[in-house]
């Protein structure tokens, strides 16, 4: 409790500008402090549980290729084409996570001898 009061002293609320209505904006450090206090248990979970990633960049990387495809061609031509594209990207992503050769895995998939079962 004492730490929270000390943090509040170091990061005071921003005063409301004259003539402005509504809630005053907080500073970025104050917003970060509030978020860390609110999510105290989940912030450092990755230190105790090795299965929890440090960040969520992997999820962002997974969807990036789809967004690039949409930007380059404007869109995918059909729903079926989008499904096929996602299925291939998912397969490649899984192979990479298993530390296997992408080329070998694709070749085996075309020969109907899949590496992943």
This prediction has a pTM of: 0.47
> Is 95 in the same domain as 78?
yes
Collapsing DSSP to helix, strand or coil, 30 comes out as helix
Over the chain (117 residues), what is each successive 10-residue block's mean pLDDT? Answer: 64 68 80 87 82 76 75 74 84 88 92 78
Task: Centre a 10 Å sphere on the Cβ of residue 49 and count the other Cβ atoms it contains.
Answer: 8
- Tell me how many domains the chain contains: 2
Structure confidence at residue 61 (pLDDT) = 77
Same domain, 44 and 77: no
pLDDT at 105: 92
115 belongs to a structural domain: no
Q: From the DSSP assignment, how many helices (H) and strands (E) are in the chain? A: 7, 0
Residues 68 and 36 in one domain: no
| Domain identity same for 104 and 73 | yes
- In a shared domain, residues 106 and 61: yes
> Which 8-state DSSP code applies to residue 100?
-
- Say what the pLDDT of residue 103 is: 93
Give residue 95's domain range.
Answer: 57-110
- 44 and 63 within one domain: no
């Amino acid at each position: 409790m004492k730490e929270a009061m000390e943090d509040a002293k170091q990061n005071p609320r921003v005063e409301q500008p004259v003539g402005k209505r509504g809630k005053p904006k907080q500073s970025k450090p104050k917003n970060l402090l509030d978020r860390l206090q609110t999510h105290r248990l989940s912030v450092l979970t990755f230190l105790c549980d090795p299965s929890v990633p440090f960040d969520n960049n992997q999820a962002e990387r997974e969807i990036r290729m789809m967004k690039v495809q949409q930007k380059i061609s404007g869109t995918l031509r059909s729903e079926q084409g989008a499904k096929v594209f996602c299925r291939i990207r998912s397969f490649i992503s899984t192979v990479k996570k298993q530390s296997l050769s992408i080329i070998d895995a694709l070749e085996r998939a075309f020969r109907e001898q899949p590496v992943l079962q």
